Structure 1
Amino acid sequence: MGVVILDGTTVRSFVNDELNFNNSINSRFDSLDLNNDGLLSRSELRKAFESLRLIETHFGADVITKPEQLTKLYDSIFEKFDCDHSGSVDREEFRSEMKKMMLGIADGLGSSPIQMVIDDDDQSFIKEAVDLEESKLHN
């Protein structure tokens, strides 16, 4: 576990580094595609967001959300990712929406640096952005 300092530039640089960003997206997509059909179903994408626990927690504290509210929320997230309304999310749709999310995080962070505690085994895109920036500093 370590403390890192980052700002919007860290995240934006990661997204703009197409090779690293696309490799990261492809890896994450493949890990979510449980049946290896090259598409994410509603349930596969929901499992991904459930694992992040972004909705069920508030500043690290559990909050109770009714199951039907969670289903509505996850369904709306799926609809946002399923740009062509095919009933599944392909790799390009996933990449496009994750890019928008990451750039939204970058915009939200702006140029004000923040400190963040990240586990060494964390698999998040934020950790990958920090690792990429750190590797560029050492080269």
Structure 2
Amino acid sequence: MRVVIIDGSTVKNFVTDEEHFNKSMDESFAALDLNEDGVCRNTIDPQEFKSEMKKILLAIADGLGSCPIQMALEDDDRSNFLKKAADLEAAKLVVNHGGGS
């Protein structure tokens, strides 16, 4: 378990990073599409899933605003979108600051 600090910009940056966002949504949709027919619950296709998740995450980002929050996260939780947003932000910080030693 680890603790991260995020705010609305962390979540917005995750949503606007199309490569990471789309990969995450594709993985999550595949996990929900148990019979692998390309739809969930016989009605939701991958594009609709991405669109609705984008709206939800942007609403969370707006709710967080610029006020940072602390979250305890399980290291092995691969389906937590806020964890993925925090991981993406941390990876960008490492790249921009040279790994910080």
Same fold (TM over 0.5): yes
> Following TM superposition, by how much is the alpha carbon of 1:106 offset from its aligned partner in structure 2, in angstroms?
0.2
Identity in percent: 56
2:81 paired with 1:133: no
**Superposed CA RMSD:** 0.7
Structure 1 segments unaligned to the other structure (5+ residues): 42-86
* TM-fit CA distance, 1:26: 0.3
Structure number with greater Rg is: 1
Write the distance in 2 (CA, Å) between the matches of 1:33 and 1:92: 13
Q: Does 1:23 align with 2:42?
A: no
Once the two structures are superposed, what CA deviation does each residue of 1:14-58 show, in whole Å capped at 9, x if it has no partner? Answer: 0000010000000000011000000001xxxxxxxxxxxxxxxxx
Shift, 1:122, TM fit: 1.6
Secondary structure at the aligned position of 1:138 is classed as: helix
The 5 Å alignment of 1:1-139 reads 1-41=1-41, 88-123=43-78, 124-139=80-95
- TM-score by length of structure 1 reads 0.66
SS in 2 for 1:36: coil
CA shift digits 1:34-87 (9 cap, x unpaired): 00000001xxxxxxxxxxxxxxxxxxxxxxxxxxxxxxxxxxxxxxxxxxxxx5
For 2:71, give the aligned amino acid. Answer: M
How far apart, in 1, do the equivalents of 2:27 and 2:50 lie?
11
The one-letter code of the counterpart of 1:132 is: L
Secondary structure (helix, strand or coil) at the match of 1:39 reads coil
Question: 2 CA distance for matches of 1:96 and 1:112?
Answer: 26
Distance 2:67 2:84 in 1: 19
- Work out the number of aligned pairs and report it: 94
1:107 alignment partner AA: D
Q: 5+ unaligned residues in a row in structure 2: which ranges?
A: 96-101
What stretches of structure 1 move > 3 A for 4+ residues in a row?
none
